[in-house]
Chains A and B, each alone.
Chain A
Amino acid sequence: MDINFTPEEEAFRQEVRDFLREKLPAHMSDKVLNHKHLSKDDLVGWQKILYDKGWAAPGWPKKYGGPGWTPVQKHIFDEETALAGAPPLLPFGLAMVAPVIMNFGTEEQKERFLPRILSADDWWCQGYSEPGAGSDLASLKTRAERQGENYIVNGQKTWTTLGQYADWIFCLVRTDPDAKKQEGISFLLIDMNSPGITVRPIITLDGGHEVNEVFFDNVQVPVDNLVGEENKGWTYAKFLLGHERSGIAGVGRGKMELQRLKQIAAAERKNGKPLIDDPLFRSRVAQIEMELEALEMTDLRVIAAVQQGQSPGPEASMLKIKGTEIRQEIYHLVRQAVGPRALPFQPQALHGDTDDAVAPDYALSAAPTYFNNRKLTIFGGSNEIQKNIIAKMILGL
């Protein structure tokens, strides 16, 4: 057992750092590190910078234009980019629909979709959840009926993250209403510009517009856009859940947020002294750092297993639970750190268009960030559902 990074891995880390120092635009890292609003241009722009370097799709094999990294390299990349304050790479295209297309799509679909996912020319969103189908995803009702060379899609998706920018949506739809729940579902790629699609914003409690409802009213979708076989969509969705789960712990992001928390606590005052020197607050920060360090090892154990060809499986559920709990605790501590100055609500300031901000950016973003990130334990399979998975799959209960 050697649980240190190899010299090659350390050299790779240095290479990533050098690249970030040179290429990560300061206006982007400023927004990320201060939790200000990231525009579509920021998100796309950053992926394009990575694309030019050949690093846009850390998890992709070389064959499709990925860097062909090992899971450990990918972990190092995630950590370094997060620590530097790089905008996140959105998972919907790169990490969700792409692996499904790679594994189950036709050659024509691969050629048509993968290059534009890689280059960030197409923006994808995920159309799984419905008002009646959240944790119980298989009860979804959105209907696709075959009519000649088209499917006619009717129904509603919801919680569609950043669907307002999307060119494409990948959907789970019901193609056989008479089959058992999981057996009548298909995986369909739908052009967001198709007639009959309406996107309605959902404003979240932090005042942000991140999620949407997407309505389908007799939308025509060419049968060429079906991935794999009709009524096999659930298998592909499950494949996706088992895939690309490294990174789910968000250790890099957690470290970045912890670093920020310390900086904020050093800037804030309690009884005239830096808050970080207050024994009680300091021990709260220490506690989270210790847990994060342990989580990093758990993460690396899973990554090492993947590197040796094992599938991450239900262990990924542990990473998701712990990773999200730690992140939420950090956001709580930031809100606590800024005291009463967490109260002012100035979303304009976080969009960068006001000069009457009444507190530093880190204070103004503290409460919105805390509230927004309640989502971490809800989406991607809620933490309760993750615990059910562990109870069943690992413990055999």
Chain B
Amino acid sequence: MDFSLTDEQRMLQDTVERLVQDQYGFEQRRGYMQAEGGFTREMWNQFAELGLLGVPFAEELGGFGGGPVETMLVMEAFGKGLVLEPYVASVVTTGQLIADAGSDAQKSAVLEPLVSGELILAFAHGEPDNRYSNTQVATRAERSGSGYTLHGHKTVVLHGDSADRLVVSARTSGDTGDASGVSLFLVDAGAPGVSVQGYATIDGLHAAEVRLDGVQVGEDALVGAEGGAVPLIELTQDRGAFAVCAEAVGAMSVACDLTLDYLKQRKQFGVPIGSFQSVQHRMVEMRMELEQSRSATYKAAAKLDSDDPAARRRAVSIAKYQVGKGGRFVSEQSIQLHGGIGMTEEYNLSHFAKRIAMIDNQFGDADAHMDRFSEQMEVPAAG
């Protein structure tokens, strides 16, 4: 076992951390948020130039050939700056989905422009009654001629408002909730019948409602086998969950640092508030939640690409559960220990606290992952 990074990994980490440090200050970020879609193309292009958009893709696709550890390093650094760009939506989830399951034609149409920053992808799976399910898909894809017609409503599609192409989950057979009969389609966001309503999210990112009203796609839009998409959806959601866990670790480390600094500076009753033992213990608990979250995320990194989906599920659920629970604690207590100042929009802490808390509302919350973990938890025979 070796927790140290390779030279290449360290270089990647340095690159992203430097970028965040130099270009993702609080005021700078506020400026970027004003741009259409909630982030700037200049920054996205820089990511492309630095090779970040190719991190998880094979070298022959123009990528960096990185694995989960590389994604983790990027996301953790992004978490430290609350990066706004659609990296999880475009690269981590949808991009890797195409790389894994797309046809050769889809790969060559999508991945190169994705890596070079010209094309943005989003994963349109959530629905109003879907919650975090992989199978609750009511959107329908009906056979028509040589292709399909899509009808449905996809909700809170992360960065759906800047995506050029969407990967949409839709039912080709069966009923909502069935484990088979769900398919994935690569859909042009500008195709007739697609309407996209974008908005900001409470944690400063962007998402969209995507409505599909008789959208025609060809047979070649199908990603993977017809009716067999649920395992792919699950893998994609797990990748998203893992990535936001790493992001949360970065954001939690900043929330802890900001709070610790504040405890040393802020004086009440003539002494720093960090001199009160009840406050010290709270700060200690925050740090422990941070370290536990980091460890659980490492564990997920080790298993994310495992050939055994059960091992992956188990590890990702441990991480997302721990980050949900520990993140909530760090978010809430970092505000609490700041007092009134922690509640203000003007001070950067509240933005970290919001993102950390809202990560629980993406890719399955702590309870959803506890559920999944307990379903496959090993239990020895009685006695």
Inter-subunit contact B278/A268 (CB<8 Å): no
Inter-subunit contact B344/A135 (CB<8 Å): no
Q: Which residues of B contact A204 (CB under 8 A)?
A: 343-345, 350
Rounded to whole angstroms, the CA-CA distance of A367 and B358 in the bound complex is 8
Inter-subunit contact A382/B339 (CB<8 Å): yes
Inter-subunit contact B365/A339 (CB<8 Å): yes
Inter-subunit contact B203/A270 (CB<8 Å): no
Inter-subunit contact B362/A340 (CB<8 Å): yes
19 contacts between A and B (CB under 8 A): A134-B340, A135-B268, A159-B340, A202-B346, A205-B354, A207-B345, A268-B131, A270-B133, A281-B367, A328-B332, A340-B361, A343-B156, A356-B197, A367-B357, A374-B336, A378-B335, A378-B339, A378-B340, A383-B336
A379 within 8 A of B: yes
B269 within 8 A of A: yes
Main secondary structure of the interface of A (DSSP, over half): mixed
A175 within 8 A of B: no
Beyond the given A340-B132, A378-B336, A387-B278, could you list 12 further A-B residue pairs with CB under 8 A, ordered by the A residue number? A204-B345, A271-B131, A335-B361, A342-B358, A344-B199, A345-B199, A345-B201, A358-B155, A358-B209, A359-B128, A374-B332, A375-B343
Q: Which of B136, B177, B202, B268 contacts A342 (CB 8 A)?
A: B202
Chain A nearest CB: distance from B332 CB in Å?
A: 7
Q: Which residues of A contact B342 (CB under 8 A)?
A: 374, 378
B353 within 8 A of A: yes
Inter-subunit contact B269/A135 (CB<8 Å): yes
Chain B nearest CB: distance from A37 CB in Å?
A: 16
Chain B nearest CB: distance from A272 CB in Å?
A: 5
Inter-subunit contact A344/B336 (CB<8 Å): no
Total contacts A-B at CB 8 Å: 142
Please encode chain A, from 260 to 272, with 1 for each CB lying within 8 Å of some chain B CB and 0 for all others.
0000000011111
Chain A minimum-CB-distance residue to B374: A280
Given contacts A202-B344, A378-B339, A382-B339, contact A358 B197 (CB under 8 A): yes
Q: Which residues of B contact A358 (CB under 8 A)?
A: 155, 197, 199, 209
Chain A nearest CB: distance from B272 CB in Å?
A: 12
Q: Which of A129, A281, A340, A384 contacts B278 (CB 8 A)?
A: A384
Inter-subunit contact A280/B361 (CB<8 Å): no
Inter-subunit contact A205/B350 (CB<8 Å): yes
Rounded to whole angstroms, the CA-CA distance of A219 and B135 in the bound complex is 66
Q: Which of B328, B340, B346, B354 contacts A371 (CB 8 A)?
A: B354
Rounded to whole angstroms, the CA-CA distance of A281 and B131 in the bound complex is 13
Q: Which residues of B contact A70 (CB under 8 A)?
A: none
Please encode chain A, from 377 to 392, with 1 for each CB lying within 8 Å of some chain B CB and 0 for all others.
1110011100110000
Q: Which residues of B contact A269 (CB under 8 A)?
A: 129, 131, 136
